[in-house]
Structure 1
């Protein structure tokens, strides 16, 4: 579910970039970055530490 939410947040960036000024987009992107960072650091990373088999392969490669 968190992966799907991340994709939706990324998709929202595209829609906002197309509809807003650069200044509005930059502000929106910054807030989306905070949300996505919190989702990973506060929720997903602790789960992956406890259950490494749940961590997607593409994230394991980035260590």
Structure 2
């Protein structure tokens, strides 16, 4: 199943809150953002980062 670029993937409530708090509301906004920057957000773990990367890869995009 292909993820939408207009929504965040299903990554769990803490990670979703962390992204929303940092101003990210759509997958497309995460393209090019350094993985290390996202990892610093409280609630963002390695599993969530892997899910985000996989969702971006489906669209030919990447984390920075």
Which protein has greater RCO, CA pairs closer than 8 Å, 6+ apart?
A: 2
Which structure: greater helix fraction?
1
TM score, norm. by length of structure 1: 0.35
* Structure (1 or 2) with the larger CA radius of gyration: 1
TM score, norm. by length of structure 2: 0.35
